[in-house]
Amino acid sequence: MSKTTVILKREFRSYFLSPIAYVVGGLFLAIGGWFYFSRVFFDFGAGAEARMDGFFNLLPLFFLVLVPALSMRLWAEEKKLGTFELLLTFPVRSRDLILGKFLGGLLFVVVLLAFTLPYPMTLAAYGKLDWGPVIGGYLGGILLAASYLSLGLFISSLTRDQIIALLLSVASLLILVLLPQFGAAMSPSLAEAFKLLSPVEHFRSIARGVLDLRDLIFYFVFCGLFLYLNALVLEFKKRNG
Amino acid sequence: MIQVENLVKHYGSFVALKGISFEVPSGQVLGFLGPNGAGKSTTMKILTGYLYPSSGHVKVDGIDVQEDPLSVRKKVGYLPETNPLYMDMRVDDYLRFVGSIRGLRGKALSQGIQRVVEVCGLARVYRKEIRELSKGYRQRVGLAQAMIHDPEILVLDEPTSGLDPNQIVEIRELIRNLGTDRTVLLSTHYLQEVEATCDRILIIAQGKIVADGTARSLTSTLPPGPLTVEIKGPKDKVETQLKELFPPETGVQVQFLGEDPPGEVCFRVGTSPESDEHVREAIFDLVSRNGWKLLEMHRPPATLEQVFRKLTLDPIEEPLVAKELSMGGSHV
Ligand SMILES: Nc1ncnc2c1ncn2[C@@H]1O[C@H](COP(=O)(O)OP(=O)(O)O)[C@@H](O)[C@H]1O
Ligand SMILES: [Mg+2]
C-alpha cells in the first residue's frame, strides 16, 4: 500500500465519520432524484425518448456546492486540529499527501454518483435509453468534480477555517462557471476563449456522448495546475512558518 | 547523533532563532528549557523538517534534514506542541493510520501498535473515540503515535503541558523509561521536569542558547542560598546574642523567622560565600557556649529556577532578580 493510498483511505473513511458528508450527500441524492424523477414522469407523459439530460444539466450546479462542502475540510481541518504538522513530518512527500487527499475526495464523489446509477437503469428498463450520453455524463461528471475538487483542495490549503474555505471555493467556482457569460457580455472572441477555460463547457461536450481528447487534456491540465499550486502553498509554509 | 549548526529562523522581519548550535549524542535525554516564545518549538519544527531554517543546518546521523528530509523523518518520532489527534477517529484506527503511513505493514504494524499500547498504557481506551478521552490519555495517544515506528530519536514539544499533577508524573515516568534506549529531545517550561527527566539541559532565551549543562553544573554557577539556622533556646536571648555576634557592619544579616513550637527559634542568616565558614563556626560556638541546642543548620544550593530566571529575564528586568535574591537573604 503506497503512502498515497494510506492518505486516500483515511480521507475517504473520514467522510463517513462526519455529518457534513451525510447531509450533503443525502441532499445531493434527494434533490437529484427528485429532479430526475419529475423529468422522467414528464418525459414519459410526453411519450419522449428516455434521457438523463435533466440530471446532467444540473450537475455543474449541484457540484458547485457539493464539491466545496467536501473539499473545505481537506487541509483546513488538519490545520485546526494540529495534524497538519504531523502529516508534514511523516516520511511522505508533499505530492503524495496532496494526491491522496485529492483522490480520497474524488472517490467519495464517485461513490455518490454510483448511487445514482439506478436512475438510468430504471430508464433502460422502462424505455429506450441511449447509453452514449449517459456514460459521457458520468465520465464528464467525474472529471468535472475532479476539477472543482482540485480548486477546492487548493483553497482549503490557504486557511484553517473550513467555512472560509467553503465560501471562497464556491465563489471561485461560480466565477469559473459564469466565465463564458462574462465573456459573451464583452466580445464574441472573448466568449470563445473563456469557453475553453470553463470546466462546465468541457463537461457539456463530454456529456453529449462525444469523447474529445482536448476535453480530457483540459481536465488533466486544470487539476494538475491546482494540485501544483497546492504543493507551492505547502512549500511556502515550510519556508515562512 | 543530532548536530545543529548555527540555526537562524526569521518569521517575516522577526528573528525567532539567532544562531543556535548544539550536538546531541545518541542516547542522551536533552531538555530544552526556556520561557514562552524563546524558540524551542521553532527549533524542533526545523529539526523534524516541518520548517526550513533561514540559514544553518540540522544533521541527523550525518544526513542534512533539508537535503534528505524523508530519511531523517524516518528516524524521528515527533509530538508537536498541539497534540495532533484526529478527534473523530478511534485510538486503534489512529495508531493504525500513523503506523501505515510510517511504512509499517502486516505483522510489523500490529506488533508496533501492540508495543505502544502497552508502553503508553492505552489498552483501556484502545477502542474509544479520541474525542472521548481525558487530556492525560490524549497525551499518551500522542506519545504512542510518536513512537509507533520505534524511532531512534524522539522529539517531544511540551509533552506535559496542561496536564494535572498526577498525569504529569505518569508522563514523566513514561519519558524517563523511553529515554533509556534512545535519544530524546524534550521541551518544557517546567523546571522540575528537566531535573526529573533529563541528562542535560539547554536553556534558550530569545532565540539564543544561554546555558548548556547538567542541572548540577548549572546550579553550581550561582551562589548557594541563605543559611537557615534553627536553635532551641529562649527567643529573646538567642535573638539579641545573634545580633550582637553579627552587628550590621559585618555584612551578615540576621532575620528572625519564627518560633514554633515555643522554645525553638528559627533564623535566616544571610552571608557571602567567603565569610560562610566563619559564620557557621561562630554560630555553633555561640550555641554551645550558652548551652542551647542547635537543631538545624542548612544551606540549600541555588535552584534551577534561580538559574533560569537569571538567564532568561530581560536585561530591563534584571534588577528584579537581584531584589528577589536579596529577599531570599543571600544578597549581602
Ligand atoms: N508561524 C509564526 N509566525 C510568526 N511568528 C512566529 C511563528 N511561530 C512562532 N513565532 C514567534 O517566534 C517566537 C518563538 O516561538 P516558539 O518557537 O514557538 O517559542 P517557544 O516554543 O519557545 O515558546 C515567538 O516569539 C513566536 O511568537
Ligand atoms: Mg513552544
Domains of chain B: 2-221+306-321 (3.40.50.300), 227-298 (3.30.70.260)
* Residue B15 confidence (pLDDT): 96
The ligand 1 atom nearest the CA atom of B38: 22
Among the partner residues A18, A84, A239, nearest to B88 by beta-carbon distance:
A18
Measured CA to CA, the distance from residue B31 to residue A13 in angstroms comes to 39
User: What is the nearest CA distance from B230 to chain A, expressed in angstroms?
Assistant: 54
Flag if A81 and B85 touch (Cβ within 8 Å).
yes
On the question of pLDDT at B122 being above 60, the answer is: yes
Among the partner residues B52, B74, B84, nearest to A81 by beta-carbon distance:
B84
Confidence of residue B208 (pLDDT cuts 50, 70, 90): very high
A–B interface: beta-carbon pairs under 8 A: 74
- Specify whether the CB–CB gap between B84 and B138 falls below 8 A: no
CA-based nearest residue to B32, from B201, B156, B155? B201
User: What is the nearest CA distance from A74 to chain B, expressed in angstroms?
Assistant: 13
Cα B317 to middle of ligand 2, angstroms: 22
Q: Locate cell 479520541: which residue?
A: B130
pLDDT digits (tens, 9 = 90+) for B160-182: 887 888 888 888 888 888 888 89
Beta-strand relationship, B76-79 and B227-232 = unpaired
* Residue A41 confidence (pLDDT): 57
* Residue A101 confidence (pLDDT): 98
Cα B41 to middle of ligand 2, angstroms: 4
pLDDT digits (tens, 9 = 90+) for B46-94: 999 999 999 999 999 999 999 999 999 999 999 999 999 999 999 999 9
Flag if B83 and A92 touch (Cβ within 8 Å).
no
Measured CA to CA, the distance from residue A133 to residue A138 in angstroms comes to 8
Within chain B, what is the greatest distance between any pair of CA atoms?
81
User: Would the CB of B233 count as within 6 Å of ligand 1?
Assistant: no
- Dihedrals phi, psi of B187, to nearest 5 degrees: -110, 150
* Residue B182 confidence (pLDDT): 92
Cα B18 to middle of ligand 2, angstroms: 16
On the question of pLDDT at B274 being above 70, the answer is: no
Confidence of residue B270 (pLDDT cuts 50, 70, 90): confident
Flag if A238 and B101 touch (Cβ within 8 Å).
no
Cα A189 to middle of ligand 1, angstroms: 52
Provide the residue-wise pLDDT of chain A in tens; the chain has 241 residues. Answer: 689 999 999 999 999 988 888 898 898 888 877 776 776 555 554 455 666 777 888 899 999 999 999 999 999 999 999 999 999 999 999 999 999 999 999 999 999 999 988 888 887 887 777 888 889 999 999 999 999 999 999 999 999 999 999 999 999 999 998 888 888 888 888 888 888 888 999 999 998 888 889 999 999 999 999 999 999 999 999 998 8
Sign for the pseudo-dihedral over CA of A107, A113, A115, A118: negative
* Residue B239 confidence (pLDDT): 84
> ipTM for the complex?
0.91
Beta-strand relationship, B253-259 and B264-270 = antiparallel
By C-alpha distance, the chain A residue nearest B88 is A17
- Residue type at position B185: L
Beta-strand relationship, B183-188 and B153-157 = parallel
User: Would the CB of A91 count as within 6 Å of ligand 1?
Assistant: no
* Residue B310 confidence (pLDDT): 83
Instruction: Classify B282 in phi/psi space as left (phi over 0), alpha (psi -120 to 50) or beta.
Output: alpha
* Residue B325 confidence (pLDDT): 40
Measured CA to CA, the distance from residue A222 to residue A15 in angstroms comes to 25
Flag if A90 and B105 touch (Cβ within 8 Å).
no
3-state SS class at A179: helix
pLDDT digits (tens, 9 = 90+) for B275-318: 667 888 888 898 899 888 888 888 887 788 888 888 887 654 44
- Specify whether the CB–CB gap between A18 and A162 falls below 8 A: no
Proximal ligand: closest to the CA of B34:
1
Flag if A86 and B84 touch (Cβ within 8 Å).
yes
User: Would the CB of B48 count as within 6 Å of ligand 1?
Assistant: no
And the C-alpha cell for B66?
A: 533539508
CA-based nearest residue to B202, from B61, B6, B29, B33? B33
CB atoms within 10 A of CB B20: 23
By C-alpha distance, the chain B residue nearest A5 is B101
User: Would the CB of B34 count as within 6 Å of ligand 1?
Assistant: yes
By C-alpha distance, the chain B residue nearest A88 is B50
Proximal ligand: closest to the CA of A85:
1
CA B25-B30-B32 angle, to 5 degrees, is 135
| Mean pLDDT of all residues in B219-238 | 82
On the question of pLDDT at B326 being above 70, the answer is: no
Sign for the pseudo-dihedral over CA of A169, A172, A174, A177: negative
User: Would the CB of B41 count as within 6 Å of ligand 1?
Assistant: yes
User: Would the CB of B202 count as within 6 Å of ligand 1?
Assistant: no
DSSP assignment string, B182-241: SEEEEEES-HHHHHHH-SEEEEEETTEEEEEE-HHHHHTTSPP--EEEEEES-HHHHHHH
User: Would the CB of B49 count as within 6 Å of ligand 1?
Assistant: no
CB atoms within 10 A of CB A114: 10
Measured CA to CA, the distance from residue A198 to residue B291 in angstroms comes to 102
| Mean pLDDT of all residues in B15-40 | 94
